């Protein structure tokens, strides 16, 4: 989570915004009130799904009207269909996803990915990453690799198979903030 906080702070600095944008961690339903955007980080999607349910965050997340920036396990949670019945997805984006599409931890890798709307490839970190294998008509597929879809947008939501917060390139964080009307 701290990597996302740092990445958004870097994006705000890079964009030159001196606004009142602040990134804060959220762990309880009442902390969502008044926010314009959220990030759902990577991790283990079954565990995150259980924690969302346990901490009564499911309904506030589904009803959240702001944008959501979801990476890796966060991407799994945004889908409306997943290949693992243990994951209670939020269903906020119209796509289906395969968890751990590349295999175990040792199959993690880095790659330069062409992303629609970016002027040069984005260096992406794939760690036990998912891929989408179907996207609905209202979903914009912004990046694919041979194994499947790795970046999608729908409305103000962005779902990424990889971890942009692990690098120093702020372009996707800035793009998300722009899509939410925050910068």
State residue 112 phi and psi, 5-degree precision.
-90, 125
* Active-site choice (72, 153, 157, 173): 72
C-beta of residue 72 within 8 angstroms of C-beta of residue 87: no
Active site residue 165: yes
* Active-site choice (4, 153, 157, 163): 163
Nearby residues of 12 by Cβ (< 8 Å), 6 or more positions away: 19, 21, 23, 177, 183
- Residue by residue, pLDDT tens for the chain (183 residues) are 678 788 888 887 777 655 567 777 888 999 998 899 999 988 899 999 999 999 999 999 999 999 999 999 999 999 999 999 999 999 999 999 999 888 777 778 999 999 999 999 999 999 999 999 999 999 999 999 999 999 999 999 999 999 999 999 999 999 999 999 887
C-beta of residue 97 within 8 angstroms of C-beta of residue 83: yes
Active site residue 63: no
Please give the pLDDT value at position 26: 85
C-beta of residue 29 within 8 angstroms of C-beta of residue 63: no
- The Cα 106–Cα 11 span in angstroms is 30
- The Cα 75–Cα 93 span in angstroms is 9
Please give the pLDDT value at position 144: 97
* Active-site choice (153, 165, 173, 180): 165
SS3 57: coil
- The Cα 157–Cα 176 span in angstroms is 8
In the chain, the domains with their CATH numbers are: 2-179 (3.40.50.880)
Active site residue 173: no
Please give the pLDDT value at position 19: 57
Region class of 100: left (phi > 0), else alpha (psi between -120 and 50), else beta: left
């Amino acid at each position: 989570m701290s990597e996302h906080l740092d990445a958004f702070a870097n994006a705000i600095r890079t964009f030159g915004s001196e606004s009142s944008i602040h990134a804060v961690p959220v762990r309880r339903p009442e902390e969502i009130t008044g926010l314009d955007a959220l990030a759902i980080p990577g991790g283990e999607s079954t565990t995150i799904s259980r924690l969302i349910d346990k901490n009564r965050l499911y309904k506030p997340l589904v009803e959240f009207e702001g944008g959501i920036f979801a990476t890796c396990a966060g991407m799994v949670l945004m889908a409306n269909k997943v290949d693992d019945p243990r994951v209670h997805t939020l269903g906020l984006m119209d796509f289906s996803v395969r968890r751990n599409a590349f295999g175990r931890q040792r199959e993690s890798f880095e790659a330069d990915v062409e992303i629609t709307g970016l002027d040069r490839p984005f260096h992406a970190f794939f760690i036990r990453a998912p891929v989408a294998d179907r996207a609905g008509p209202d979903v914009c597929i912004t990046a694919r690799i041979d194994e499947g879809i790795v970046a999608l947008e729908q409305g103000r939501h962005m779902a990424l198979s990889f971890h942009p917060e692990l690098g120093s390139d702020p372009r996707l964080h800035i793009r998300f903030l722009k899509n939410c009307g925050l910068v």
